[in-house]
Chain A
Amino acid sequence: MALLEVNNLDVRFALRQGEVHALRDICFSLERGERLGIVGESGAGKSVAAFSLLNLIAKPGFIAGGTVTFDGQVLNRMSERGLRKVRGNRVSMIFQDPMMTLNPVLSIGEQMVECLKAHRRISSKEARAIALDKLQQVQIPSPETRLDQYPHELSGGMRQRIIIAIALLLDPDIIIADEPTTALDVTIQAEIMALLLDLCEQHNVGLILITHDLGVVSQVTQRMLVMYAGRVIEQGPTREIINDPQHPYTQGLINALPQMATPGEKLNQIRGSMPSLSNLPSGCAFHPRCDFINRADGQPRPACTQQVPEFVESGNCRVACHMVAEMLEDRRLKEETS
């Protein structure tokens, strides 16, 4: 059994206008030391997915079904008290904006010591020594002085390094990083990503990386999920998806990148925009923007507009698309007849 297993996770938000289905049928697993990327555009549900892993969904949101199993324990059926032993300790999180994550009125040292003492019975002195060691690991210059500084005294890149140090503080099994470098500049982003990758490899820590940046995902992760309108639409090994995307949305997303087009030529855009979760189109949520809703013979494929696509296995990947399913079926029939 994998270290983390997510089965049929279903998250809803009970709003006054009615229930909004934020996540449907999310299934994935993470082995020890594995790095998984979750990609999608804003509103796809990737952050909700990350938050629901640790049952951090705030009201009016709730987990309506499915299980998140970590090391044999079902996290979404655990008491708050039990969860607190997992959160920050065995599974830690890194958020997008380091300034929002750090407490502005506590020094860096105080925040780190506080976290250590909440989970372990150790003296402040020992805690401070561990904190110092972690700051050294994230390559912060003059770590001793940093311990007594406050978040506002540090630059954005430095703050994100401290967040990484805090995430590593209790030697977790998994780090969930929600857009960890989006708020940072390109050169700093590259440094932080390289650091995070090195540390995860060194300590054999699993990483769930949530991002909209396909470039980052392709460089850091081994497997990836592509999300669209609250659903996973394609998952599999990162290299295979990047090199040979099956789902029309994944194809569109990759082809829309400026680096995929000849400079000066028109970019391959996907028309329209992501539907709102409260008003999803029937059938496949992507069908109004999809170029492949017609069969090869030019006739419309009714399933696309009527039926939510199931996952089909295509090589090492799983894809939720009627077109891909049809193609695989055709291929299978051909092989059978020949």
Chain B
Amino acid sequence: MSAHAEAITDSHNPTPRQNEESADSLLQIRDLKKRFSLSGDFLDQLRFKGGKLVRHQEHVHAINGVNLDIKRGEALCVVGESGCGKSTVARTVMGLLTPTEGEIRYDGNRIDNLSSRQLLPYRKRMQMIFQNPYASLNPRMTIQQTLEEPLRLHHPDWKRPQILDKVEEVMRSVGIDPDWGKRFGHEFSGGQRQRIAIARALAVDPEFIVADEPISALDVSIQAQVLNLLMEAQQERNLTYLFITHDLAVVEHFGTRVAVMYLGTVCEVATTATLFDKPRHPYTQALLSAIPRLKDDRPQHIRLTGEVPTPVNLPSGCVFHGRCPHANARCKQEIPLLQTQDDGTRVACHAVEEGRL
């Protein structure tokens, strides 16, 4: 645990590099931590141990000190396997979860400690698209109602014709026939539902969109349609994306920069081209080698041994050391911090830092 404590104190003094980077960034995530309690309320936590009443608490450490900057107009992709905390980052950024520690700044203003009333102007500027379009549309509302709702909330002064015009415009822009407004969500296919979910996010003309696995639930041919739609919207509306996904092929195509997460920490941040060309972190290397490619027959996978540890009992030192082929004694004790490399890539790995890799 001492290593954890060190990392906390370290990261509480932001290095000059971090301030430098923040100049043109729309969103800044600083030392973000999120824990979820597993032990229930106070009475549930009490246990008898050796004749004494002790309070026993367990937490899922979903995010452990994440620092990220999202620049205006870029698509930052966050990749990682299930349980690495990528969705938690997305939800915390949107204010759907309150961070345990750390700060989130949007356009220079801190937003993580605002009340929902204070957050309202920000909600108009940042919107979210969820993974499952079957769950994210209200089954009892027609598409027209679904799309009108955010407009009524954020533009209380708008008259009805203005709202109707806007709804028609966004429906057209995502390729949904405006005549379908009277239909309900269940009457649409998965791809169409995701288009509607995108239309809802675009309705209030946001500048920043958090998309949490927006195409994972869709078929291959439909994935291409929705991805194209998201890219068109970005060009036309000059959007900034925080794009959460586990699919590296999508990242390679869509992302401006990529952040690779493992067990609640960011292990590598790089521009997409650099990351795919020259992955530095051993986890990134393994992840990239695991993509099933069409053209090669028997690719050389870097086979990782072992399983992802549980975020309840985090391993000491580098969270990846148990599966890492390059781990040494230092990796087991000391938490690596993100270090900027010559080409601007930031890697959190002792082996890279020491030049062993």
Interface residues of chain A, those whose CB is within 8 Å of chain B, are 41-42, 141, 155, 157-158, 185-191, 193-194, 212-216, 218-219, 239, 242-243, 252-254, 256-261, 263-264, 266-271, 273-274
B92 to chain A, nearest CB (A): 22
B219 touches A263 (CB 8 A): no
A213 and B292 form a contact (CB under 8 A): yes
Q: Kindly list 6 other residue pairs between chains A and B, CB separation below 8 angstroms, not including A252-B221, A267-B224, A270-B224.
A: A187-B286, A213-B292, A219-B293, A259-B252, A267-B227, A269-B225
**A187-B286, A213-B292, A254-B294 known; A263 vs B273 contact (CB < 8 Å):** yes
- CB pair A256–B220 under 8 Å, yes or no, is yes
With A263-B272, A266-B231 already in contact, the answer to whether A253 and B221 are too (CB < 8 A) is yes
Q: Hey, which chain B residues are within 8 Å of A185, CB to CB?
A: 81-82, 246, 308
Q: How far is the CA of A17 from the CA of B312 in the complex (A)?
A: 50
A128 to B84, CA, bound (A): 36
Q: Are B287 and A215 in contact (CB under 8 A)?
A: no
Residues of A within 8 A of B241 (CB): none
Closest residue of chain B to A261 (Cβ to Cβ) is B253
State A1–B81 Cα separation when bound (angstroms): 45
Q: With A42-B219, A189-B290, A191-B303 known to touch, is A219 a contact of B273 (CB < 8 Å)?
A: no
Enumerate 5 A-B pairs (CB-CB under 8 Å) in ascending A order. Answer: A187-B286, A218-B297, A259-B253, A267-B227, A269-B228
A66 → B minimal CB distance (Å): 27
Establish whether residues B220 and A219, one from each chain, have CB atoms under 8 Å apart when the complex forms.
no
Collect the chain B residues with CB atoms within 8 Å of residue A271's CB. Answer: 225
Q: Which residue of B lies closest to A268 (CB)?
A: B224
Q: How far is it, in angstroms, between the C-alpha of A42 and the C-alpha of B221 when the chains are bound?
A: 11
B249 contact set on A, CB distance < 8 A:
257-259
| CB-CB nearest in chain A for B221 | A270
Contact B294 A157 (CB under 8 A): no
B298 at the interface (CB under 8 A from A): yes
From the candidates B219, B254, B304, name the one contacting A41 in the complex (CB within 8 A). Answer: B219
Task: Check: B150 CB closer than 8 A to any chain A CB.
Answer: no
A193 to B246, CA, bound (A): 18
**Which residues of B have CB within 8 Å of A260?**
294
Residues on the A chain within 8 Å of B291, using CB: 186, 215, 259
What residues of B have a CB within 8 angstroms of the CB of A270 in the complex? 221, 224-225
Number of A-B contacts (CB under 8 A): 121
Q: If the complex has contacts A213-B292, A214-B294, A259-B293, are A191 and B304 also in contact, measured as CB distance less than 8 A?
A: yes
Q: How far is the CB of B60 from chain A (nearest CB, A)?
A: 15
Kindly provide the distance from the CB of A255 to the nearest chain B CB, expressed in whole angstroms.
8
- Return chain A residues, CB-CB under 8 Å to B263: none
How far apart are the CA atoms of A215 and B296 in the complex, in Å?
Answer: 9
Q: Which residue of B231, B289, B292, B298 contacts A215 across the interface (Cβ within 8 Å)?
A: B292
Q: A186-B248, A257-B249 are in contact. Are A267 and B228 (CB under 8 A)?
A: yes
> 9 closest Cβ contacts across the A-B interface?
A215-B292, A185-B81, A258-B253, A190-B290, A256-B224, A41-B219, A269-B224, A267-B224, A270-B221
Max chain B CB contacts within 10 Å: which of A191, A263, A268? A263
Contact across chains for B253 and A41 when beta carbons are under 8 A apart: no
- Which A residues lie within 8 Å of B81 (CB)? 185-188
Identify which of residues 188-241 in chain B touch chain A, using a CB-to-CB cut-off of 8 Å. Answer: 189, 191-192, 219-225, 227-228, 231-232
**Given the complex of chains A and B, what is the CA–CA distance between A239 and B294 in angstroms?**
9
CA distance A6 to B7 in the complex (A): 62
Whether B139 is near chain A, meaning CB under 8 Å from some CB there, is: no
Given contact pairs A185-B246, A194-B303, A219-B297, A269 touches B292 in the complex (Cβ within 8 A): no
Specify which of B219, B272, B295, B298 lies most central, judged by the most chain A CB atoms within 10 Å of its CB.
Answer: B219
A157 and B189 form a contact (CB under 8 A)? no
Q: Which of B221, B225, B253, B286 contacts A263 (CB 8 A)?
A: B253
Q: Which of B246, B254, B297 contacts A186 (CB 8 A)?
A: B246
In the complex, which of the residues B221, B272, B301 contacts A194, with contact meaning CB atoms closer than 8 Å?
B301
On chain A, the residues within 8 Å of B293 by CB distance are 215, 218-219, 259
Q: Chain A nearest CB: distance from B308 CB in Å? A: 8
**Contact status A257-B220, CB under 8 Å:** yes
Q: Is B343 an interface residue (CB 8 A)?
A: no
